[in-house]
Homo-oligomer: A and B are copies of this chain.
């Protein structure tokens, strides 16, 4: 990355980007003259040089300058100052999370809602998941004579329900005993272990009855399915907030962003990457050759508890995005979520958290 910029050029670049982020209008030289303390002609010369360097560009000859992907990148890495949330904002957010602290389902909803409203663009959150599914508990509940509801709880508190039909009727007591036996058999087992159990059932004393085998098969399948289903579980919010941005004046843009969020082409690639890295990831425009993201920027962070569970949260918006604030917000919410999860999983471990 070009670091051979004079101090003044860095200042011009920074100011241009800040103005553009604020106003969504290409920035003219005279807008900066007083701010930089030189004449507009001098600013023009500097801008020329920055354009030469690939950091700024013009939409047409008589327009002001807008940042390029590279320009934004330079800004994010070298120029911008951290913009933490105010103490008041932090208190409000903490308080909201405190109110739903016992309601696991609400966490991701709240995280997405807070992100969206704080940065005024779309937010996405995946639920916290173990690196590998581990069995925690199962329950068999009689629905009617030949239907049983299987409720499966995994180590990461994921809950999955399924029905299964049985030839012969079972009483709730019988089902309770069966569930008890399977629970002790499967304690902490991974998907493969459960799967093996169900196939080598004859070697156990007493051998498993057919219902038990059937249940184990379902459990094994549900557990291994989880690893793929990540995409379906991405929760998002804030479409409405994002539509307020001027870049969404044309419906085509709205369609684009909807298919990115729903189709998940980008999530297939960006989320695993965020899951594998520490800290906040910023993808500006089509940086990594992802053409469908050409006009968008994505800010993602992993959250969770090291070695236990992890999820990803972040925002997606137009390239012209308030990076300092967005990055701070994503980082803050990720920390809050990590703290919440740390309270749940092992007080002996520490949250995934970037050093201040």
Q: Which residues of A contact B (CB under 8 A)?
A: 101-105, 136-137, 139, 141, 143-144, 147, 149, 151, 153, 157, 159-164, 176, 180, 218, 239-240, 243, 248-251, 254-255, 258-259, 262, 343-347
Contact = CB atoms under 8 A, between A and B. Distances in A.
Contact of A258 (B164, B240, B251): B240
A149 B153 contact: yes
Nearest to A179: B139
Contacts of A162: 102-104
A105 to B, nearest CB: 7
Contacts of A161: 104-105, 157, 159
B147 A343 contact: yes
A102 B137 contact: no
A139 B151 contact: yes
Contacts of A347: 144
A251 B343 CA distance: 44
A97 to B, nearest CB: 13
Contact of A102 (B164, B250, B259): B164
A143 B344 contact: yes
A29 to B, nearest CB: 32
19 contacts: A103-B162, A104-B162, A105-B160, A137-B141, A143-B157, A143-B345, A144-B344, A147-B343, A147-B344, A149-B153, A159-B161, A240-B255, A240-B258, A240-B262, A243-B254, A248-B251, A250-B251, A251-B254, A254-B254
